[in-house]
Amino acid sequence: MHITIIGAGIGGLTLGLALHRLGISCDIYESNAELKPVGVGINILPHASQFLCKELGLEEDLSNLAVLTQESIFFNRFGQKIYSEPAGKFAGYDYPQFSIHRHDLLQTLLNAYLLRVGSEHLHLGYAALSVDASKGTTTFQIKQSGEILEITSDCVVACDGLHSVIRKQLHPNEGAPKYSGVNMWRGVTRAPAFLTGASMVRAGWLTHGKMVIYPIRNQIDTAGNQLINWVAEIETPKHLKRDWNKKGHLDDFIGAFEDWQFDWLDVPALMRNADTILEFPMIDQDPLPFWTKELTTLLGDAAHPMYPRGSNGAGQSILDARCLAELLAQDQPVSQALIAYEKKRLSETAQVVLANRINPPDAILREVYERSSDQPFDQIDNIISAQELSQISNNYKKITGSDPASLGR
């Protein structure tokens, strides 16, 4: 059996490693002629890190690059603590929560793929044009020469991301992306550690401005600074094209956070000292009716683009890859494996897409914002109980498959 993988992102590389582990050969075709550093920070929760660490053996490599998140903590826009809970191994899971630069994760996956599968099975500068689903044949254009060629394999897995060519082919009449009404600005800043030095902070609410802040690299200089990832989110009618790498402008959003000078962090200073700022509107797509057509299927963002809330975008791609590889390794026709993969993962990821729209972990912030009328509080227990806060968090974990019961810790 031989598999064609379109796209060398997190999903494609993870799938390639997963297939190789199970004795299935593959080739990855990537449209970019060079794999350059892209994006900023992401989180990999234990339900996804379990596969990277246990099955793919990457725990040491990732631990050397990432911050092992100790806690998830919530504040209002006045810097008052609302709720906190331990994360990853600190919560009793067997595997860590990794807070990591997207490039560091991609490079770790790429290095493992080149070492285990081989550079001859990675093809850069191959732009997918179309697929013949009945034959498992993909038509590519080699960007450097303009040559058109066809590659046939036992099946084709499109991991070609938010702007998937194959998704558009399978669903030519799909509706427009769903804009949430929220714009995001993402940045990374070299700064001293704050709180535990491994805290993931969510603060404020979208009406006035919301922040997600966490470190993604330790000891980046002789002063012991960290690389801090931050995301600013503000409700806005402005709707821009999806692009993970569109340059953002500080003046467009910093006004909402100028008074966020807390004893645990100076947020406006963090923003002003950023190495880079990217702008990205919070957009997703409605869950698809199907991913699979004959010998072709979708995986990762190509299958289920979702709001980047709850640290689940990359994680769900990793879970897709594990599921598909394991089904392809079973004694059944390839077409049946693809159908079984879709049957399991489409419904699971659809729940996450919809939950991220309505009740992500950030719903804790919304509840406090509404119940406190966006005013400082004397005691959080007078606003909402610890039990209710925990329930909001645990309900989301159950939907995403990251609750302890689903993983056996």
CA distance 237 to 367: 23
| pTM of the shown model | 0.94
Average pLDDT, consecutive stretches of 10 residues, N- to C-terminus, the chain (409 residues): 97 98 98 85 94 97 97 96 95 95 96 98 98 98 96 98 94 85 92 97 94 96 95 80 70 95 96 91 90 98 88 91 98 97 96 84 90 95 93 83 66
Cα–Cα–Cα angle for 368, 373, 379, rounded to 5 degrees: 55
Do residues 205 and 365 make contact, with C-beta atoms less than 8 angstroms apart?
yes
If 0-12 CB within 10 Å is exposed, 13-18 middle and 19+ buried, where does residue 207 land?
A: middle
Q: What is the DSSP letter of 55?
A: I
Please enumerate in sequence order all residues whose Cβ is within 8 A of that of 38, keeping only pairs 6 or more positions apart, or say none: 102, 103, 106, 244, 245
Residue 385, pLDDT score: 94
Cα 393 from chain centre: 18
DSSP3 helix / strand / coil % (the chain, rounded to 5): 35, 30, 35
- What distance lies between CA 105 and its chain's CA centroid? 11
Pull the structure tokens for residue 229.
């990832």
Which distant-in-sequence residues (6+ apart) come within 8 Å of 55 by Cβ?
Answer: 18, 21, 322
CB 216 within 8 A of CB 97: no
CA distance 52 to 186: 26
CATH H-level superfamily of 2-43+102-176+288-358: FAD/NAD(P)-binding domain (3.50.50.60)
Helix (H) or strand (E) holding 110: helix 102-116
- Specify the pLDDT at position 409: 45
Which of these, 247, 279, 257, lies nearest to 210 by C-alpha position?
257
Smallest Cα–Cα separation from 288: which of 177, 130, 396, 134?
A: 177
CA distance 95 to 111: 21
Q: What are phi and psi of 263, to 5 degrees?
A: -70, -15
Q: Supply the pLDDT for residue 361.
A: 72
What crossing angle do the helices spanning 386-400 and 334-358 adopt, rounded to 10°?
A: 160
Model pLDDT, residue 313? 85
